[in-house]
Amino acid sequence: MDPERECSRLWRAWRTVHEMVKDRGYEISEEEVSITLDEFRRHYCDSEGRPQRKNMTFKANPSEKMLKQHAAPPGQPANVGTIWVEFSSEPNIAMKIVPTVLPAIIEVFEEADLLVNITKHELVPTHHLLSREEKRRLLERYRLKETQLPRIQSADPVARYMGLKRGMVVKIVRKSETSGRYASYRLCM
């Protein structure tokens, strides 16, 4: 691939990944999210303009808000931790890498899936992850069992973007011509 084109594609993926990590609730500075193509070139490309993926690795810690939202029941460890992001040049992630990071959760995204932040598209409604407490109050308010909620698959593009896991509930707010806005809730399966 042409180095200029590869740099541009990787910069777009870089921004989407940083936006995704920030949207999930990790601490990311605005400078990292809004890096320009020229700044990206200076920091992450060699003298010939080829991106150096090994230099693009970063980590982020969960924010206080995220820790509260994902709080585990008393006596259990927290459900979130530091996130580590790598931009692999390998077409397939080798299984030998997996045992070195266990018991971590590993998510793999294709570069092509990260060229555009899907949550910014006008047809994608706003999604909000509910905390355990908010989920409990929702089920109590409507006298529902968790299984009575409509479902969203964990493989759904927005669910993947948000990092939804089985049992999590997401509030989806859509625009409505008649009522202005309305909310629905989905259980991740």
**CA dist 20 → 49, 124, 134 (Å):** 26, 15, 22
Q: How long is the chain?
A: 189
CA distance 145 to 124: 27
125: tokens are 């409604």
Model pLDDT, residue 90: 78
* pLDDT tens, the chain, 189 aa long: 798 999 999 999 999 999 999 999 999 999 999 999 999 999 999 999 999 999 999 999 999 988 888 877 777 766 788 999 999 887 776 555 555 655 677 888 999 999 999 999 999 999 999 999 999 999 999 999 999 999 999 999 999 999 999 999 999 999 988 888 999 999 999
Cα torsion 56, 62, 65, 68: sign: positive
Of 60, 177, 159, 169, the residue nearest 119 (C-alpha) = 159
Can you give the pTM of this predicted structure?
0.88
Residue 90 has phi, psi (to 5 degrees) of -75, 135
**Domains of the chain and any CATH numbers:** 1-116 (3.40.1340.10), 118-189 (3.90.940.20)
Residue 13 has phi, psi (to 5 degrees) of -65, -40
Q: How far apart are the first and last CA of the chain?
A: 38
Do residues 142 and 134 make contact, with C-beta atoms less than 8 angstroms apart?
no
Mean pLDDT, the chain, whole residue set: 90
172: tokens are 């989806």
